[in-house]
Amino acid sequence: MHRGERMSEVMGEYGVSDAVEHGGDLFEDEAHVAMDKPLDTGRLLYARLCLTILADTEVEVWFDHFDNTITAQLRRGDDVREVTFYDAPMARVEKLVYVNAIVNDAKGAFE
């Protein structure tokens, strides 16, 4: 059982495929690009995983606002991989590098 906001439900409102990449960052849509309001860490991780991981792999990300943690779970059949990390405050550039490293590790786990 996981505690927190499910990113698949939050992102389902507009869809990952509608996300706009701009300057190495992801935004909900063009309006958010204009406002310079990129996706938060949980949504960013969920979108990057969905856009990067193979289609036969289920992706879910939970953001727990109470203890400021993010849990990412990848499932392919009976094989389940999961990681939980603290959403530490850091500069946006560092956050992008951090999330991209997690995505690359996740991608490598199923290759």
Angle, helices 92-109 vs 41-52, to 10°: value is 40
- List the domain range (segments joined by +) for residue 36: 5-109
Instruction: Quote the CA–CA distance of 90 and 84 in Å, as a whole number.
Output: 17
Nearest to 103 by CA among 48, 61, 63: 48
Model pLDDT for residues 45-76, shown as the tens digit of each residue: 999 999 888 888 999 999 999 999 999 999 99
CA distance 94 to 73: 22
Give the pLDDT confidence of 26-52 residue by residue, as tens digits: 998 899 999 999 999 999 999 999 988
- Per-residue model confidence as pLDDT tens digits over 78-95: 999 998 999 989 999 999
Q: How far is CA 59 from CA 33, 34, 38, 69, 100, in A?
A: 25, 29, 21, 17, 15
In the chain, the number of structural domains is 1
**Residue 17, pLDDT score:** 79
The pTM score is 0.89
